[in-house]
Chains A and B, each alone.
Chain A
Amino acid sequence: MTRQQQTPSIDFTILTLKDALDLAVLIEEEARDRYEELSAQLVLHRTPGAAAFFAKMVRIEELHRKQLIEQRHKAFGDAPVGVRREMIFDVEAPGYDEVRMNMTTRQALETALKSEEKAHAFFVSVLHNVQNPEVRKLFEELRDEEVEHQELVKAELAKLPPGDPLERFDVGDGPAPQ
């Protein structure tokens, strides 16, 4: 029977720049995939406004991912990837419990804002253990970018009319066929 070792966790004290870049790519990938899932869920449950916003987040996270991949390829070419998606849990991806059917666009934006704050907190936290100066520089940049993203989401929030979100049981959800 094939058995692998348990997924190792990340030791940030010895993380190399290559692994750090790959990790950053995986963080964006996880967020992209989650927004894609959440958007699909909300389409299925007739919540188009929030679904459209999450679909927009998919494109944004994908853009960030591609930028990081480019950076990684410029520095390390096709050198093998040393980190795995299974090593991270919801760094920038919103939790599954953050969404609800009939959530408003405002609530969707607030969910994204919370996720950007979570990602910022992640980089702040791991920077305590990072020793490699190049990795430190990269993570500081990423940490600061998360603040910029928060500002962008806040600006979008400010454009919305004041919220009057529906209560969760105000609108019934019919059975979804499959």
Chain B
Amino acid sequence: MNAPLFQAKDYKSELKPIWCPGCGDFGVLQGLYRALSAIGRPPHEVAFISGIGCSSRIPGYTTAYGFNTVHGRSLPIAQGVKLANPELLVVIAGGDGDGFSIGGGHVAHAVRRNIDLTYLVMDNQVYGLTKGQLSPTSPKGLETVTSPLGSLEDPINPLLYMLAYGAGFVAQATPADMPGMSALIEEAIRYPGFSFVNIQSPCVTFGEDEQQLKAHKGKMKTLASLGHDSTNQLAAMDLARAYGKELYTGVFYKNPNPPPTYESLVKLRQAEQSKKARARHQILEAYLQK
């Protein structure tokens, strides 16, 4: 076997995570290190962009470039980073509140532009960092400090949300299955276009018992075991409707014919336009003639 270019530990920074002991995000971080090691890009060719929240601390825990931005704005900033330097591997990390509440309006545009980004949402169904308020994916009826009598709202379905906007790669994982989750993160990063992984990463402090990893181990079902064809977008949407009731893991949808990415179209446009570009002296002459 060839010696690996990079090991998982090469992506781990000196900073120690301050998440609550037992938090699902510890597993996600490990899975991420492993996925990056398998991809083999050096840390200086990777950038992590995040918003605000527990999971948004991830950039600090890696040796890659990182930008812990403002609440809900990780997607537009990540798009800017990728367009400024298309050679960078850009991964976005955030929570369900950051992604689907304050940042929800950015999702549609990130998806429709199809910039080669990987968006990892650590979906814990609660605002954990701010001590347990209702989040956009909290189940109906959940009692929190902001819904003491139980939530009256239906949760957002992140999987359907992404599929409906036309994302080319949509998957779901849980740190209860570390090898599966690492492989999914790797597959998402390798997908040439916008990719999304909804990671059910429980909040150990404010989450419900049935949302914890021990419960995940009992109820998760791989999509492969259901015989799901991940190239079938409609079947993916049908299965995604079970979000909140069933815990399906794996790839819901992967476009078998990925369309060109935005950055590749920009490159083409630049090449076309540069043929028509006038030399400096021609521009000067045209100006002087006026």
A→B interface (CB under 8 Å): 1-4, 6-8, 37-38, 40-42, 44-45, 47, 80, 82-86, 89-90, 95-101, 103, 168, 173, 176, 178
Contact = CB atoms under 8 A, between A and B. Distances in A.
B40 A2 contact: yes
A99 B114 CA distance: 40
Contacts of A2: 5, 40-42, 45
Interface of B: 1, 3-5, 7-9, 15-24, 26-27, 30, 34, 37-42, 45, 87, 175-176, 178-179, 183, 186, 202, 204-205, 212-214
B39 A3 contact: yes
A40 B16 contact: yes
Nearest to B87: A1
Q: Which of A80, A97, A99, A178 counts the most B-chain CB atoms under 10 A from its CB?
A: A97
Contacts of B42: 2
B18 A44 contact: yes
A101 B179 contact: no
A107 B272 CA distance: 66
B18 to A, nearest CB: 4
A104 B243 CA distance: 36
A85 B178 CA distance: 14
Please report whether the interface of chain B is mostly helix, strand, loop or mixed according to DSSP: loop
Given A4-B38, A86-B34, A86-B37, A96 B18 contact: no
B21 A6 contact: no
A116 B32 CA distance: 26
B214 A97 contact: yes
Contact of A100 (B3, B21, B40, B41): B21
Contact of B21 (A82, A83, A86, A101): A101
Given A6-B38, A85-B7, A86-B4, 12 more contacts: A1-B45, A3-B40, A7-B38, A38-B21, A90-B178, A95-B213, A97-B202, A97-B204, A99-B22, A101-B20, A101-B21, A173-B20
Contacts, number: 91
Nearest to A1: B41
A20 B19 CA distance: 35
A143 B150 CA distance: 50
A122 to B, nearest CB: 14
Contact of A41 (B9, B21, B40): B21
Contacts of B175: 96-97
Nearest to A178: B18
A6 B38 CA distance: 5
Given A8-B1, A82-B1, A97 B213 contact: yes
Contacts of A41: 16-17, 19, 21
A97 B178 contact: no
A20 to B, nearest CB: 15
A96 to B, nearest CB: 4
User: Across chains A and B, which 10 residue pairs bring their CB atoms closest together, nearest first?
Assistant: A4-B40, A96-B26, A97-B213, A99-B21, A176-B18, A41-B21, A89-B178, A7-B38, A100-B22, A96-B27
A97 B24 contact: yes
A96 B25 CA distance: 9
B190 to A, nearest CB: 8
Contacts of B7: 84-86
B149 to A, nearest CB: 20
B38 to A, nearest CB: 5
Contact of A89 (B21, B26, B179): B179
A97 B39 CA distance: 27
Contacts of B41: 1-3
28 contacts: A2-B5, A2-B40, A2-B41, A3-B41, A4-B5, A4-B38, A4-B39, A6-B38, A7-B38, A37-B16, A40-B16, A42-B21, A44-B16, A82-B1, A85-B7, A86-B37, A86-B38, A89-B178, A90-B178, A96-B23, A97-B204, A97-B212, A98-B22, A100-B21, A101-B20, A176-B18, A178-B15, A178-B18
